[in-house]
Amino acid sequence: MLADIRSPRDLKALTPGQLAGIGAEIRAFLVDAVSRTGGHLGSNLGVVELTLALHRVFDSPGDRILWDTGHQAYVHKLLTGRQDFSRLRQQGGLSGYPCRAESAHDVIENSHASTALSYADGIARALRVQGMTGRAVVAVIGDGALTGGMAWEALNNIAASPDLPVIIVVNDNGRSYAPTVGALAGHLGTLRAADRDGRPARPAFFDALGLPYIGPIDGHDIGATESALRAAREAGGPMVVHCVTQKGRGYRHAEDDVRDHFHGIGVIDPLTGRSAGAGLPPSWTSVFGAEMVRVGATRPDVVALTAAMLAPTGLGPFAQAYPDRVIDVGIAEQHAATCAAGLAAGGLHPVVAVYATFLNRAFDQVLTDAALHRAGVTFVLDRAGVTGDDGPSHNGMWDMSVLQVVPGLRLAAPRDAAQLGAQLNEALDVDDAPTVVRFPKGAVGPDIPAVERVGTLDVLARTTAAADHHEVVLVSVGAMASTCLQVADRLAAHGTGVTVVDPRWVKPIDPALLDMARQCDLVVTVEDNTRIGGVGAAITQMMQDSGLAVPCRAFGIPAEFLPVAGRGQLLEELGLTPAALEQDILRRLSDHPPTRRPRRTPRPPHEVGTFRSGEHDDPTSEEGQGNGTSH
């Protein structure tokens, strides 16, 4: 029957038995399709009946159905004419989140949590201003997303407008990635327990706001859910419909998943539920997690914070080893940043582990609550740079640009596992400024040893220019080191001399880089971050401020949202591959004759020093410009 459903209208005349049959088909489809491509499985298995009920009661797209966070919209896609999941989260295929380019039924593309209620408030007000009556606005929000402060701000405003037709469907499964935390989660749990015991539920939180409430409703009972939704629609004003669902419903491996491995999966065997990626190299995330456990043994002052993502950010092992030193604040990155500043003021060194894309939400807190207070907080940014498959909002391509403007902040971009461990420990030694350590998604490659240490810079390779050929300083940022070494080999084949430098700390940049730049014809920077305001821009500014006339070519990501595709595909399209970089650099060198400069005498290798608080000035800051301070 599922193949015959081309739009929500096709659901209207179905019998309860037919709806149950379609629900079973949908679950079988999801397990089969998502196990082949990877994606969000558990969250979608939990909303099958709820989604069927929504599309039978409301008339999308005239009625606006909004999904928060959006990773539970696969069933919605199936019921709105999108049943080809063969390239889910791949180039040319369906997005893993609502996508306006795919369908008029997708209203927003909010793959960051806690936003749907604010969108709903604005859309409903817009309809009212334009005199468009009889159209409902429905926001489906999980109990996990309700922990976000933005959701509470929206509730405060929606509740103050008794004639606003906003229906808030709370999809309560007791989990975000992990069991939901906080007082509101406890209140929802109390309501569920009262319902199970046959006692009347007293929704004190919603009552206090003046929001009418229906529930708790069994979200897997289509008839009961439809009745509640119809009552909410007929009320004509804001209403909370509390639906209790089970994450992973109908797939035993997901139902029994206490660690939420089935929230978002890679390719798996659908029969066993086991990952098809067993035996892969360690990931950046796991390297960070292991180092945190080692740090915890010698640094009792180190505590960890997570925003409802303990396991995804690699903090699970630390939590097992030191359970009293982990704080899960829920989906509340702003609170995490300022709470961390408070922990630092109290004498601890907090480590806030979030995805790079989610730190955008806490920029003001990093700026004025951490940096202004010179708080010794370390932010660890997973999935930095191009991530690809989760779509435009999840690429962690903004962090090095956004954070460049924060006074005093120090930012590390490790190139390999060894440097991740070393630079994390260097960051933890800073107690008078926020520090950041960022790394990409996926498997970490082999360690790349330095041939020389100059200040805090690592020289990864040197090739000598042939007679009358150019000299290039190639600045490799973070995980782009392997690519840059391949570029150096390619350029050397043309007689070009190349010094490959890993700054390690990309804010501030060690002024020793200027000495290297004076010996070359072109400085090239390569980063998987936006070019505007990125590391290349900072190096260019530093060179200009010092009066150095050597040209600088900054390679990076344009300031635009990237489509769904794999990391390798996107890097190729962006020209961040060895072949593309080689050709671009050669074209630029061909426009200028080489400048003959005496090569400086190479320094002997340096021991790795400790990155201590207060030793390093930012040459791009007002105090650090022109003072010659070296790392």
> CA-CA distance, 565 to 561, in Å (whole number)?
12
> Which phi and psi (to 5°) does residue 437 adopt?
-125, 120
* Residues 161-176, mean pLDDT to the nearest whole number: 89
592 is in an annotated binding site: no
Mean pLDDT of 468-483: 95
pLDDT of 231 > 80? The answer is yes
The CATH class of the 284-438 domain is alpha beta
The response to whether 143 counts as a known ligand-binding position is yes
pLDDT of residue 478 exceeding 80, the answer is yes
At residue 188, does pLDDT exceed 80? yes
Task: Determine the pLDDT at residue 625.
Answer: 34
Question: For residue 78, which of 114, 102, 109 has the smallest C-alpha distance?
Answer: 102
- With tokens 């933890």, the residue in question is 428
Reply yes or no on whether the pLDDT at 318 is more than 90: yes
Distance (Å, rounded) from C-alpha 207 to C-alpha 186?
16
Residue 395 pLDDT: 87
| Of residues 296 and 146, more confidently modeled | 296
Residue 355, annotated ligand binder? no
- Calculate mean pLDDT across residues 188-215: 87
Place of tokens 């006692």: 199
State which amino acid sits at residue 205: F
What pLDDT, on a 0 to 100 scale, did the predictor assign at position 213? 93
pLDDT band at 601; cut points 50, 70, 90: very low
CB 176 within 8 A of CB 307: no
Average pLDDT over residues 350-357: 96
| pLDDT beyond 60 at 171 | yes
* Residues 508-520: tens digit of each pLDDT: 999 999 999 999 9
| Per-residue pLDDT at 616 exceeds 90 | no
pLDDT recorded at residue 176: 63
Return mean pLDDT, the chain.
89
User: 104 pLDDT exceeds 60?
Assistant: yes
Please give the pLDDT value at position 279: 67
pLDDT of residue 597: 59
pLDDT at 246 over 60: yes
Annotated ligand binding at 251? The verdict is: yes
pLDDT score, position 178: 64
For residue 325, pLDDT over 80 is answered with yes
Straight-line distance from the first to the last Cα atom of the chain, in angstroms, rounded to the nearest whole number: 68
Residue 333 annotated as binding?
yes
Tell me: pLDDT of 609 over 50: no
* φ and ψ of 379, to 5 deg: -100, 125
Strand partners, 505: 412
Res. 413 pLDDT band, cuts 50 70 90: very high
Reported as a pLDDT band with limits 50, 70 and 90, residue 258 is low
User: Could you tell me the two tokens for 348?
Assistant: 């601890």
Helices (H), 210-328: 222-235, 252-255, 284-298, 316-321
Q: Would strands 213-218 and 166-172 be described as parallel, antiparallel, or unpaired?
A: unpaired
Task: Return the structure tokens found at 575.
Answer: 């020209």
> Mean pLDDT throughout 174-178?
67
Q: Compute the average pLDDT of residues 17-41.
A: 92
Q: Do domains 2-255 and 453-590 have the same CATH topology?
A: yes
Q: What is the CATH number of domain 453-590?
A: 3.40.50.920
User: pLDDT value at position 226?
Assistant: 96
E-only strand ranges, 88-165? 137-142
Compute the 3-state secondary structure of the chain and give helix, strand, coil in percent, each to the nearest 5. 40, 15, 45
- Active site residues per annotation: 247, 333, 361
Confidence category of residue 558, pLDDT binned at 50, 70, 90:
very high
pLDDT of 426: 98
Residue 630 assigned to a binding site: no
Task: Examine the pLDDT at 537 and tell me if it is beyond 90.
Answer: yes
Q: Region 575-600: what's the mean pLDDT?
A: 84
* Range among 98-102, 110-114, 142-146, 300-304 with highest mean pLDDT value: 300-304
| Candidate from 282-296, 384-398, 532-546 with smallest mean pLDDT | 384-398
Would you say 335 is a known binding-site residue? no
Q: What secondary structure does DSSP assign to 548-612, as a single string?
A: ----EEEEEE-SSPPPS--HHHHHHHTT-SHHHHHHHHHHHHHTSPPP--PPPPPPPPPPPPP--
Predicted confidence (pLDDT) at residue 571 exceeds the cutoff of 50: yes
The predicted structure's pLDDT at residue 260: 67
The answer, yes or no, to whether residue 615 has pLDDT greater than 90, is no
Query: Following CA atoms 224, 230, 236, 241 in sequence, which dihedral angle do they give, to the nearest 10 degrees?
Result: 30
Q: Which two tokens stand for residue 135?
A: 């159209």
Given a cut of 90, is residue 191 above it in pLDDT?
no
Residue 144 annotated as lining a ligand binding site: yes
**Domain extent listing, the chain:** 2-255, 284-438, 453-590
- At 506, the pLDDT band (50, 70, 90 cuts) reads very high
In the CATH scheme, what is the homologous superfamily, with its name and number, of domain 2-255?
Thiamin diphosphate (ThDP)-binding fold, Pyr/PP domains (3.40.50.970)
pLDDT digits (tens, 9 = 90+) for 430-450: 999 999 999 999 899 999 999
pLDDT mean over 581-587: 96
Known binding residue 145? Answer is yes
Task: Provide mean pLDDT across the span 142-167.
Answer: 92
Work out the pLDDT band at 277, boundaries 50, 70, 90.
low
